[in-house]
């Protein structure tokens, strides 16, 4: 996907998330009788604005990295006597808490709705059946074998690859025992296998739970026939075409696509002689793999081809269909599970169980938004739901300048019967702003390193 499309999808995602978050504040403020002066998506100079019959300005501003709702408040300027009852600071502490909490609540509600729509359309995923086990891995220590279906991890069901990945991701940075529940084909007997982990992948920048546990899951056989040759790639320059069948390279034969692909990846910049079959004729073409740097920092060779893959057998794919009520229930459950996962990940970051290199900023979010949009509407909506949950959780952190910081101050006020002193609020604002800027700077720095 090109840069312009990536930016467009990122702006769409950010615009939806910010709009819903701020609409939560706006709606509850109106319900509590607070006059809203401005509802802005973005910061800085206003590019577009209009006023409603209540005198509220709705604006789109130049810097699309957030938004805000500006309310009538005596602390920010003089308020006419006849409008004092509409000032935010004159409302009860409970009303102010409700207004502050409404933004994150709107994000969680949006996630439920998005997951609801996704589940209404039905979902599907490959069944996690073990194909290979890496020597000296967690999977080998647990006793996993080829042909077994992994039905649960730590007692939590894993009906699909995605579910298995999420369950393994829940254990990142942890120590203790990890339990796999498996069964063999055509058998209802369950076997429980356990392996020990110690601060598992805590220092990894881009952890791959499924790969690092040492599992190769079953996929349909991959043909040695080319399905697609990327335009402008090394393969295209060498004359390779869709429909060509790879029969060998440098005088060697290969057992399958994976073995041949590894051979090419290990020879970046080295001239290769690729033997092919084309329309019954055998040809040998010189190809030099281009050097590509992966997100992990590894440098590999790539020629720019994709193979023909066989379709998945019906029995190896699980398809889930839900009614309206069932999809909503599943959406609520998914939102709850992903919220707990986000909170657990934050805890691990704070206590050093996960590397801060896992923090991502706007560049990574933009890339993921673009990729998910390419994969279809369900993928994009699922990403929006996950981002909405993250936004809701982060805004509830007890850091001044965030909604959670305001809730902390209002909670103290409700207990002691008087507001937190202005001096403490100013200091908290400065500390909170510095902390948020440091986190944003670190996330952006990680983004730049990944580029």
pLDDT tens digits, one per residue of 193-243: 999 999 888 877 777 888 889 999 998 888 899 999 999 999 999 999 999
What structural domains does the chain harbor? 123-220+311-320 (2.30.42.10), 222-310 (2.30.42.10)
* CA atoms of 51 and 66, how far apart (whole Å): 20
* CA atoms of 67 and 163, how far apart (whole Å): 34
371-426 per-position pLDDT tens digit: 888 888 899 999 999 999 999 999 999 998 899 999 999 999 999 989 888 888 88
Residue 273 phi, psi (nearest 5): -110, 105
* CA atoms of 434 and 184, how far apart (whole Å): 55
Q: What pLDDT does residue 258 have?
A: 87
- pLDDT score of 40 more than 90: yes
**pTM, 2 dp:** 0.83
User: Within 86-244, where are the H helices?
Assistant: 93-120, 138-142, 161-169, 209-212, 234-238
What are the strands, taking DSSP E only, across 232-328?
245-249, 272-278, 281-287, 290-293, 299-302, 305-309, 317-320
- Most confident segment among 26-35, 185-194, 203-212, 351-360: 26-35
- Report the relative pairing of strands 305-309 and 317-320 from DSSP bridges: unpaired
DSSP state at residue 88: G
Q: What pLDDT does residue 53 have?
A: 92
86-110 per-position pLDDT tens digit: 999 999 999 999 999 999 999 999 9
Residue 76 C-alpha from the chain's centroid: 38
Residue 216 phi, psi (nearest 5): -110, 115
- pLDDT score of 366 more than 80: no
Q: What pLDDT does residue 50 have?
A: 95
With a pLDDT cut of 90, the percent of the chain lying above it is 65
Give 370: exposed, middle or buried? Use CB within 10 Å, 0-12, 13-18, 19+: buried
Contact 64, 42 (CB under 8 A): yes
- pLDDT score of 261 more than 90: yes
304 confidence band (pLDDT: 50, 70, 90)? very high
Residue 326 C-alpha from the chain's centroid: 24
Q: What pLDDT does residue 451 have?
A: 65
In residues, how long is the chain? 451
Closest by CA to 47, choosing from 83, 15, 88, is: 15
**Residues whose CB is less than 8 angstroms from the CB of residue 77 and which lie 6 or more positions away in sequence, other chains included:** none
- pLDDT score of 442 more than 70: yes
* Residue that wins the pLDDT comparison between 369 and 12: 12
Distance of CA 200 to CAs 44, 203, 220, 349, Å? 43, 8, 30, 14
Q: How many CB atoms lie within 10 A of CB 100?
A: 25
**Residues whose CB is less than 8 angstroms from the CB of residue 70 and which lie 6 or more positions away in sequence, other chains included:** 36, 37, 38, 39, 40
Q: How many CB atoms lie within 10 A of CB 286?
A: 11
The single residue of 22, 149, 174, 334 carrying the catalytic annotation is 22
**Residue 336, CB half-sphere, CA atoms under 13 Å: how many?**
6
Q: What pLDDT does residue 196 have?
A: 93
283-301 per-position pLDDT tens digit: 999 999 999 887 667 889 9
Contact 266, 301 (CB under 8 A): yes
* CA atoms of 333 and 210, how far apart (whole Å): 23
Mapped onto helix, strand or coil, the DSSP state of residue 115 is helix
Q: What is the mean pLDDT of the chain?
A: 90
Q: What pLDDT does residue 65 have?
A: 78
22 catalytically annotated: yes
| DSSP string computed for 292-309 | EE-TTS-EEEE--EEEEE
Contact 367, 447 (CB under 8 A): no
- pLDDT score of 321 more than 60: yes
* Residue that wins the pLDDT comparison between 319 and 186: 319
User: Within 278-402, where are the H helices?
Assistant: 324-350, 362-375, 377-395
* CA atoms of 451 and 442, how far apart (whole Å): 14
- pLDDT score of 346 more than 70: yes
* CA atoms of 406 and 19, how far apart (whole Å): 20
Overall average pLDDT of the 358-379 stretch: 81
Q: What pLDDT does residue 296 have?
A: 64
Sheet holding 305-309, edge to edge: 281-287, 272-278, 245-249, 222-229, 305-309
Q: What pLDDT does residue 75 have?
A: 87
Contact 118, 382 (CB under 8 A): yes
* CA atoms of 107 and 119, how far apart (whole Å): 18
Q: What pLDDT does residue 9 have?
A: 85
Q: How many CB atoms lie within 10 A of CB 404?
A: 19
* CA atoms of 178 and 171, how far apart (whole Å): 8
């Amino acid at each position: 996907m090109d840069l312009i499309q990536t930016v467009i999808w990122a702006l769409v995602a950010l615009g939806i998330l910010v709009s819903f978050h701020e609409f939560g504040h706006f709606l509850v403020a109106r319900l509590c009788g607070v006059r809203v002066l401005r509802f802005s998506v973005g910061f800085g100079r206003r590019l577009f604005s209009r006023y409603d019959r209540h005198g509220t300005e709705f604006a789109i501003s130049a810097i699309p990295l957030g938004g805000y709702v500006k309310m009538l408040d005596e602390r920010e300027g003089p308020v006419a006597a006849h409008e004092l009852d509409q000032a935010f600071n004159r409302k009860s502490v409970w009303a102010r808490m409700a207004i502050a909490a409404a933004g994150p609540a709107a994000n969680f509600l949006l996630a439920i709705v998005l997951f609801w729509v996704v589940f209404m359309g039905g979902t599907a995923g490959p069944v996690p059946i073990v194909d290979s086990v890496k020597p000296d891995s967690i999977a080998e220590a647990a006793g996993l074998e080829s042909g077994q279906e992994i039905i649960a991890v730590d007692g939590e069901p894993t009906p699909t690859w995605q579910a298995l990945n999420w369950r393994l991701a829940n254990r990142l940075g942890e120590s203790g025992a990890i339990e796999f529940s498996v069964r063999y084909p055509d058998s209802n007997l369950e076997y429980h296998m356990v392996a020990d982990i110690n601060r598992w992948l805590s220092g990894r920048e881009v952890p791959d739970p499924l790969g690092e546990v040492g599992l190769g899951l079953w996929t349909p056989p991959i043909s040695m026939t080319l399905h697609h040759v990327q335009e402008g790639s090394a393969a295209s320059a060498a004359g390779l075409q869709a429909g060509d069948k790879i029969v060998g390279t440098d005088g060697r034969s290969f057992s399958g696509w994976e073995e041949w692909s590894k051979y090419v990846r290990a020879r970046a910049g080295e001239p290769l002689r690729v033997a092919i079959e084309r329309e019954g004729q055998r040809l040998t073409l010189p190809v030099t793999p281009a050097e590509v740097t992966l997100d992990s920092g590894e440098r590999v060779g790539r020629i720019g081809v994709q193979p023909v893959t066989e379709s998945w057998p019906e029995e190896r794919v699980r398809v889930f269909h839900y009614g309206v009520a069932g999809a909503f229930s599943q959406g609520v459950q998914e939102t709850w599970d992903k919220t707990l996962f986000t909170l657990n990940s934050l805890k691990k970051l704070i206590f050093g169980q996960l590397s801060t290199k896992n923090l991502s900023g706007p560049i990574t979010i933009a890339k993921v938004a673009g990729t998910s949009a390419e994969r279809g509407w369900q993928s994009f909506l699922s990403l929006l739901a996950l981002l909405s949950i993250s936004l809701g959780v982060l805004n509830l952190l007890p850091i001044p300048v965030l909604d959670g910081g305001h809730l902390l101050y209002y909670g103290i006020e409700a207990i002691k019967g008087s507001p937190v002193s202005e001096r403490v609020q100013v200091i908290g604002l400065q500390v909170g702003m510095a902390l948020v800027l440091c986190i944003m700077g670190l996330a952006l720095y990680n983004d730049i390193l990944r580029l």
